[in-house]
Structure 1
Amino acid sequence: MRFMSLILINEDKVPAGGPSEQLMQDMGKLIEEMSAAGVLLDTAGLRPPAEGFRMHWDHGKLTVVDGPFTESKEFIGGYAIIQAKSKEEALEWTKRFLQVHGDAWELTCEVREMEEAPELA
């Protein structure tokens, strides 16, 4: 089973200076452990919403809006794709990811099982 974890961050709750050196070291260790266990398939942080754009398709009409997006203070700060034997295993790995951040961060991870792509001809 493959799962995608979307890391949601409230921009008002990010610690001053962003991730600490200790957090980056601890995250590196967790990523190494997950990779060695064959659980972590891909992960990355995302650039701030102010540097992105949104495209909207509405009945044949395309609209493009550059960031920042004023409608929301919460944004996707990164993602991870993991392979787990069960939803419970995915939950445990996600819990460890959140705990690595310590008390300085407020994060939410939305975790969803991925549909398998149909075979290409």
Structure 2
Amino acid sequence: MAKYMLIMRATDETVVAYQKMDFQKIMDDMGAFNEEMIKAGVLVAGEGLEDAADSVVVDYSTDTPVVTDGPYGETKELFNGFWILEVASKEEAVEWAKRAPLAGPGSKAEIRKVTELDQFPQDNEHIQNERAWRESTGQL
């Protein structure tokens, strides 16, 4: 089994389209999808995000990081939330993503494999400390 993150992405056009939709229907559709993943035993975590207008960006392009407050000008893509699934393959993660209730203009899901702790050099002090922390919190 491997973990995959399904990243909900949208555009300004998507946001406008969702504002015109029935919020209760959105909640019902998303809730049903989440329950389906829970019953299948694949959902590890999932969260939605607040409006990008309330966010900040830390830009590391210069020696001193620059912090910019939202709202932003035209946004080509927004990261709206995520699910983390534990599934047998990328193909299975894709199948779950295809069921997500994310219809609409500019709405997308990006699928990325989560790097596991065992993929890093195990003789690294920081990896050993993280492993100890994860074990102490029941994550491993």
**Does residue 87 in structure 1 map to residue 95 in structure 2?**
no
Unaligned runs of 5+ in 2: 121-126, 130-140
How many residues are aligned here?
Answer: 117
CA deviation digits over 1:62-81, x for unaligned, max 9? 11000112252421111111
Structure having the higher strand fraction is 1
Query: 1:29-68 alignment to 2 at 5 Å?
Result: 29-58=32-61, 60-68=63-71
For residues 63 and 112 of structure 2, the distance between their equivalents in structure 1, rounded to whole angstroms, comes to 29
* 2:132 aligned partner: none
For residues 19 and 86 of structure 1, the distance between their equivalents in structure 2, rounded to whole angstroms, comes to 34
Amino acid across the alignment from 1:80: W
**Does residue 77 in structure 1 map to residue 77 in structure 2?**
no
For residues 48 and 108 of structure 2, the distance between their equivalents in structure 1, rounded to whole angstroms, comes to 14
Q: Is residue 23–residue 101 contact of structure 1 (8 Å, CA) maintained in 2?
A: no
What's the TM-score, normalizing by structure 1?
0.83
* 1:112 aligned partner: 112
Structure index of larger Rg: 2
Q: Is residue 6–residue 78 contact of structure 1 (8 Å, CA) maintained in 2?
A: yes
Taking CA–CA contacts closer than 8 Å with sequence separation of 6 or more, which of the two structures ends up with the larger relative contact order? 1
For residues 13 and 31 of structure 1, the distance between their equivalents in structure 2, rounded to whole angstroms, comes to 21
Query: Percent same amino acid at aligned positions?
Result: 32
Q: Tell me, what secondary structure is at the counterpart of 1:61?
A: coil
Superposition deviation, residue 43 in structure 1 = 0.8
For residues 70 and 46 of structure 2, the distance between their equivalents in structure 1, rounded to whole angstroms, comes to 23
For residues 74 and 28 of structure 2, the distance between their equivalents in structure 1, rounded to whole angstroms, comes to 34
Superposition deviation, residue 59 in structure 1 = 5.2
Q: Is residue 6–residue 83 contact of structure 2 (8 Å, CA) maintained in 1?
A: yes
What's the TM-score, normalizing by structure 2?
0.73
Unaligned runs of 5+ in 1: none
Structure having the higher helix fraction is 2
* 2:14 aligned partner: 13
